[in-house]
Structure 1
Amino acid sequence: MAKVKAEVGGMPGPATKMPGSTPTGGVGLRDVARAVGVSTATVSRAINRPEVVSPELRERIALAVAELGWIPDGRARAFTTGRSQTIGAVFPTLGLGDFPRAANAIQRQLLDVGYTLLLACSEYDPDLEFQQVRKFAERGVDGVILVGLAHHPDLLPFLKQRNLPFISSFIYEPAIHGSCVGPDNHKALVTMTDYLADLGHVRFAVIAQATENNDRASARLAGIRDALALRGLAVRPQHLAIGTWTIEEGRRLFAQVMATDPRPTAIICGNAPLAIGAVLEALATGRRVPEDVSIVGYDDIEIMSHLPVPVTTVRVPGEEIGYRAARLIVDRVEQREPDYPLESEAEIVVRASSGPPPKD
């Protein structure tokens, strides 16, 4: 097919520019329409609703767009449609767990349906998260993806006052079905605790991140406690250690709980770095895993399966959560009901770091 040549010379200047053209000699919608021999409305439909345009015409328009280097004017489209085709997402961090995989999946899915992702990190600070959401609103995003349900007290009223659609990710609560997508954190840790208890463990320690401003961590801790309570067991105070999200902290907290009497025989770690640190410290101090102590984690980052003792863990489907979060927020923006599952099932991946308790 011959290349499309655009004749844009002699176009009116900025003061009298024709609709659909851009100032200072830039290429506009009208130039694309003229090159293909169709109306500007047809080009607009091919860009925004390609399913209503024939494949042959879509190909011709796509070729013209590529040859001319035309980019749709987002500001003009937002003025016309009332939408910016952008979604804002605030994650606590992009350095840990499944958040990076989810962010990548969100971006891919949004691009597939014509939306752009704006991404920010709150560092688990509700004030910072609120500031970022306000900035998103100022930029005219069509919707917002949040993580969890613990936020600044003014955040959700702010979004509702502006009728700005939002969803919560990495959490699933039946009571708010339709506005959340992710795993049931409580149920996942009940399952993990039951697995260890069924192996015969009765002395449990928990190494976890702080639960302040982190309802997912709170739900996991509650899952452990509830599962043990049904068996008449509990985590002893000296066996509960709270810290930060680092491997170094995992090593320190492991040493702390193992210095108690009696020592725990199973340690549940609230995230992957803590579990990695616990395993490394156990091996460095001559403890056998799992013969002396079982260690399990939450999240399944790559290194978990490559340690000298691979770690049993809760695997959360981060990419699936991101994909569904993107679909759900677009459905809310475009006022559609979701026809796909919103709860992403976590699974227990059993590896060499867990086994029956030592015989006293």
Structure 2
Amino acid sequence: MRKPLQFKSTKPNVSIFDVAELAGLSTASVSRVINSPDSTKEKTRIAVQNAVRQLGYIPNGAARALSSRNSKVIGAIIPTIDNSIFAQGIQALQSYLMGKGYYLLLGSSNYDPDQEFDLCRNFLVQQVAGIIMMGDTHHPECVNMLAREETPFVNTGTYSQDGAHCVGFDNAKAASRATRYLLDLGHTEFAMIAGVTKFNDRAINRVNGVKDELARSGVSLDESRIIERPYEIDAGGSALKELMRQPAPPTAIICGNDVLATGAILAAAREGINIPDDVSIIGFDDLVISRHLSPALTTIQIPTEEMWCRAADMLLDLLKGKDGPSAVEIDFSLIVRESTAPPRP
């Protein structure tokens, strides 16, 4: 069982967050007591004053700025900077925010909810106005902290009408679309090179989308044909070789993203495996490299830039108190290129 994260700061300097934690209040309430004690309830004022004395906290201008909620900084947390799909989205987000008079503070969680929690806490110390995060697999204490600090956040890269505000797409539906295309070509022997599903709801939903679509057509997918790998080219290549060396190799391989699919195509060329004659390969994301591979990669295209910019719009509307949809679904499309074909007789 995961050990609950502690809110207590390990920094030598006491912050307003430490005072709020000890007093059991939000930082906004602490700031009101510090700046306008006569306008606060006695119980709240006493709790804050006791915490201030106990911790030796010295109020400063930064703490007062936090209470004004006038920050022009937006935080964004992505899983990694190694994947160009995230770099593309962040570049679009930064440009879009600057056009709106806001600035971007960026962090990378390495698909680790604990690191994401630490980044969120540090972002709050830096007085971000709001945060955009990938997916909906967050540490529960992270979500609780943002709620307690009254800091809005928006999930992107995923879509659900239940839960937090989000702008994204249905990963299971997109994976199902790729699977249906291969089924319609006549394939019945499938495999999947998936991303690591631990702490990654997008990877989990893509695996489930493939399984569900195959099940609807009466096609089974043995667990030995689902290989999880980190989103790296070499990892995609090693998974391809492992699958094609099985006694009954698949005729169609669905990859969790284009990075894995790129590795699979490059490895196939080295191994003398012909794509798509020996095996069809389909990716996910439509990276720029996908159209320049030989053969060019069939993939699911996601309008990444639009997704991040619309997530920014949703967050800015929340900051302004505007009413709007809590979930926005982004369309995806199947881009058919040279890496897929009907199976050979």
Residue 75 of structure 1: how far off its partner (Å): 6.6
Residue 224 of structure 1: how far off its partner (Å): 0.2
Does the 8 Å contact 1:109/1:327 carry over to 2?
A: no
Map of 1:153 onto structure 2:
140
Query: 210-219 or 341-350: which moved more?
Result: 341-350
Q: Taking every aligned residue pair, what percent have the same amino acid on both sides?
A: 39
Map of 2:92 onto structure 1:
105
Map of 2:157 onto structure 1:
170
Q: Distance in 1 between matches of 2:241 and 2:219?
A: 23
User: Deviation string for 1:297-342 (max 9, x for gaps)?
Assistant: 1111111111120000111111011111111111111111237982
Q: SS of the counterpart of 1:127? A: helix
Q: SS of the counterpart of 2:214? A: helix
Q: Distance in 2 between matches of 1:97 and 1:171?
A: 18
Letter in 2 for 1:334: K
Map of 1:260 onto structure 2:
246
Q: SS of the counterpart of 1:136? A: helix
Aligned match of 2:69 in 60, 82, 91? Answer: 82
Letter in 1 for 2:147: K
Does the 8 Å contact 2:160/2:327 carry over to 1?
A: no
2:291 maps to 1:305: yes
Q: SS of the counterpart of 1:289? A: coil
Residue 109 of structure 1: how far off its partner (Å): 1.6
2:255 maps to 1:269: yes
Residue 97 of structure 1: how far off its partner (Å): 4.2
Does the 8 Å contact 2:280/2:339 carry over to 1?
A: yes
Does the 8 Å contact 1:90/1:120 carry over to 2?
A: yes
Q: Distance in 1 between matches of 2:140 and 2:62?
A: 32
Does the 8 Å contact 1:171/1:185 carry over to 2?
A: yes
Q: SS of the counterpart of 1:274? A: helix
2:196 maps to 1:202: no
Letter in 2 for 1:329: L
Does the 8 Å contact 2:159/2:327 carry over to 1?
A: no
Q: 5+ unaligned residues in a row in structure 2: which ranges?
A: 1-60
The TM-score normalised by the length of structure 1 is 0.76
For this pair of structures, how many residues does the alignment match?
Answer: 285
Letter in 2 for 1:107: Q
Residue 248 of structure 1: how far off its partner (Å): 0.8
Map of 2:19 onto structure 1:
none
Map of 2:169 onto structure 1:
183
Residue 82 of structure 1: how far off its partner (Å): 2.9
Q: 5+ unaligned residues in a row in structure 1: which ranges?
A: 1-73
Q: Distance in 2 between matches of 1:152 and 1:339?
A: 24
Q: SS of the counterpart of 1:174? A: coil
Structure with bigger gyration radius? 1
The TM-score normalised by the length of structure 2 is 0.79
Map of 2:82 onto structure 1:
95
Moved >2 Å (runs of 4+):
74-82, 337-341
Q: CA 1:82–1:250 in structure 2 vs 1: closer, same or farther (change >3 Å)?
A: closer
Q: SS of the counterpart of 1:268? A: strand
Letter in 2 for 1:226: D
Q: Distance in 1 between matches of 2:323 and 2:334?
A: 31
Residue 268 of structure 1: how far off its partner (Å): 0.4
Letter in 1 for 2:309: Y
Q: SS of the counterpart of 2:136? A: coil
Residue 151 of structure 1: how far off its partner (Å): 1.3
Cα RMSD of the aligned pairs, angstroms, is 1.9
Map of 2:120 onto structure 1:
133
User: Deviation string for 1:137-164 (max 9, x for gaps)?
Assistant: 1111111111101012211011111111
Equivalent residue runs for 1:37-48 within 5 Å:
none
Letter in 2 for 1:279: I
